[in-house]
Each structure stands twice: as C-alpha cells, then as structure tokens.
Amino acid sequence: MVTPEARSTTAAGGLELGGCEAGALVARYGTPLYVFDEGLIREKCRAYRAAFESRYPQVDVAYAGKAFLCLAMARLVAEEGLHLDVASAGELHTAVTAGVPPARLVMHGNNKSPVELAMALDSGVGRIVVDNLPELGLLGGLVARRPGRRPQEILIRVAPGVDPHTHRRIRTGQGDTKFGLSLAAGQAMEAVLQAVGTPHLLFTGLHAHVGSNLRDARAQVQALETILDFAVQVREETGLTLENLNLGGGLGIRYLPRDEIMPLEDFAEAITTALLEGLARRHLPLPRLMLEPGRAIVGEAGVTLYSVGTVKEVPIDEPPGTRLYAAIDGGMSDNPRPQLYDAAYTAFLANRLGEPADTEVRVAGKHCETDILIQSVALPRPRAGDILAVPSTGAYTYSMASNYNRFPRPAAVFVGNGQARLVVRRETLDDIIRQDVLAPAES
C-alpha cells in the first residue's frame, strides 16, 4: 500500500503516483479524485493468475466487478486474460460495451430480475450462478423460449454454513444469509436435482463465497471441506461429478500499515493443497477451479485525493482537552465504508511529505451527517488547501459512491509511467438534475 514510509516523491517532496505528481493531478482533475495505479492493477491480475495456475492445472480467475468497474477497468481485465463477474444489468452492460468476451462473463445476484436474466442470455454470458429455486424455474423457462439456443451453463450457489470471522455486514457463507442455498437444510441438493432435470440448463458445478476482506485462508479451507462432501453426495444422487468449483473471493488488503494479510502465494498454496488433498480423499476428479478476487486486485492500487478546507479545534472532556478537526471536500458520498463497516483508513498530506506528522487529527467529511472519514491520524498540522491522500481506496469507493447532499461524484484516473488518463468524468451540477422532472400536476 502507499504510505508515507513507502511511496514515491517528487524532487520537491510531493507525492508521486504512477510517475504523476499528486498536485498536478489535482490541478488538472480537481478533488475529490480517485487515482488508480494501472501498472499495479495489472501486476495484481498477473500475480493472482500465476499464484494459482502454477499450483493447479485448471484455473479461471474472474475479477469481481462490484469492487470497481468502469469501461476502462473491464477492458483492462479482459486484456489480462481474466474473466469478469457481474451482478446487475448495469455491470453486465458495462462489460459487454467494453468488449469483454461474453464466454468469460459470470452472472451473479441473489434477486436477478427476468429482464437481467434475459439480458444475460441474449449477451451469451458464459456462466450464470443460480442463487435460489425460483430463479431456476425462471431461467429454465427463459432459455426454453429461445429456440435453437444452446443450454445455459449454470453453477449452484451454496451456503456452506461457515463463519468467516469478518465484519458482520460482509459475511456471506453462514447459514442465515440471503445468498445461496443451504447445504445443511437440503436446499442445495433440491436445486441440483431440479437443475439436472431441466432440459435447457446445464449444471456444471458449485459456487460458494464465505465473506470479504479475510486475512487468511482458514474460512475458505473450512468451506471447501463441506463443499467437497456435498460433491460426493451429488455424485451419489445424480452420477455427475463437478466440472467447475467456484470458491469466490474474499482475500483482504492492508488498509492500515499495521494490518497483516496472508501473502497471495501462501493463500494460493493453502487453497490448492486443501483442494487437491480433499479431492484425492474422496476419489473425485479435478474440477476447474474458479476464483473471484475483487478488492485483492484493485484495493491497494487506489488512492483518493481530497482538498482540506476548514480546520478547527473543539473542546473535549478527555485529555488533552481539545480535538483538531480537518474537513475535506468529500466524505461519505465518495467513500461510505467507514459509516457502513467502521472501516479504518490512514492518510497523509500529499504536498507536505517531508514534514513531521506530529498532530493528531480527526478527518471529517462535509455532509450533513457525522460523516467521519478517519477517527484519528497523525499529520503535520493541516492547513486549508492541503492535499489529503487516503490510500487503499481502490475498492468499494467509486462503486458505492452516491449523490448524497446532491454532490457530483468524483472523477477517476488511471496513472502509469508518468501519464494520466481520465477513465470516469467528474459529474457536473447539470448531471445531478438531469433525471429530475418538472411537470404540471396530473388532473
């Protein structure tokens, strides 16, 4: 991750991102600004593929588009040979427009509408991950009404009943979850049998995702044992063996310098070793292994730049008796994670890297809420006009941004080799009112 201790600086002591000076980026594109190191994203894509492909014979790595998706990101993923997982009509439309080969698209969602499923079929999506029994019937009927169309390949999403020990709002594989079909309650087997009995659907495997921002592989390995036991049951009930096994994503990143995350190579070793040994114990053939990293690909490649505005000291009851607030020109509209998940970030002043960080500061957004981006961070005493850099903001910031308080959403740029290119334009005030309607009242 980018930190004051491990970052590139210009000769004048300013922050450099992808060979571009942060101050110059701010002058050109304004703030708040999402900055992505394109080279680092590509490096992460290649590292993920290499870590698993060197340890297992058949691997598909699908980037989880929910983490960050725009046309440029979709195209980058395709250029790096990854698949892409999409979970809405908007994400699917982005992928198709960017030219991602449809066979490399994986369609997710716990409540896919008939319109979204039809769009997926018409686009030629390679795999659809079926979340529930009603969806099976709906999808089978939609394929049947397309004469001459090939059967649609599907995976059944299962809930393995594993506690991933992450924030409660990003757990997805436990028993009490909106995602997937319970193994323990028999829903998953019911879905498999229904899928196998549907002429226009081709059941080829299982999908499971236990949670996000995990620090190690323990939850995935635990889930894997349960899933492979279920694969044996599927073989006994249907005579079929799994062609595909999708273990989702979930590997976390460093948000704070002290964070400890399992290295990717160790993570891949743990997953593939457990899979190979588990298959051998159960006399199961090797399925194609599928993985869906999102945050692990793009998270640490992103830095958000803000301009500091109001700086003020307020009295508090506890020592030292005052607290210094620095307000920025963004906040929960461009990064809601601190409000949603109590997410913690660090920050530094991109234009004053050479100065001692000797002042404890609370970084506040400018929205009509408490809207605290960072509870406490050591900075040089901030001044209006400083550039605040918040690292590890590549995932779930732009993709979760809103227009709260009618804020225009920020621009996003890719940087690399001293060049910057705009990949998402900053919204304008006219964009904010573009969908509004002023019309006479209906009589």
Whether 368 is a known active-site residue: answer yes
Give the C-alpha separation, 336 to 91, whole Å.
Answer: 20
Identify how many contiguous H helices and E strands the chain contains and give both numbers: 12, 21
In this structure, the strands spanning 302-315 and 387-391 are antiparallel
Give the C-alpha separation, 62 to 108, whole Å.
Answer: 12
Counting beta carbons within 10 angstroms of the beta carbon of residue 92, is it exposed (0 to 12), middle (13 to 18) or buried (19 or more)? Answer: buried
Cα angle 389-392-396, degrees, rounded to a multiple of 5:
110
Instruction: Quote the tokens at residue 333.
Output: 């509209």
Amino acid at 439: A
For the four alpha carbons of 370, 256, 394 and 209, in that order, the dihedral sign comes to negative
Catalytic residue among 20, 45, 70, 368: 368
For the four alpha carbons of 215, 216, 220 and 222, in that order, the dihedral sign comes to negative
Q: Residues 6 or more apart from 248 whose CB is under 8 A from it?
A: 172, 207, 208, 209, 210, 291, 292
In this structure, the strands spanning 20-21 and 359-364 are unpaired
Residue labelled with tokens 């009995």: 197
Total residue count of the chain as it appears in this document = 443
Give the rounded distance of the alpha carbon of 155 from its chain centre.
21
* DSSP string over 23-39: HHHHHHH-SSEEEEEHH
Q: Look at residue 369 and give its three-state secondary structure.
A: coil
Amino acid at 224: L
Q: Look at residue 430 and give its three-state secondary structure.
A: helix
CB count within 10 Å of CB 288 equals 16
H/E element, 310: strand 302-315
H/E element, 322: strand 322-328
Active site residues: 368
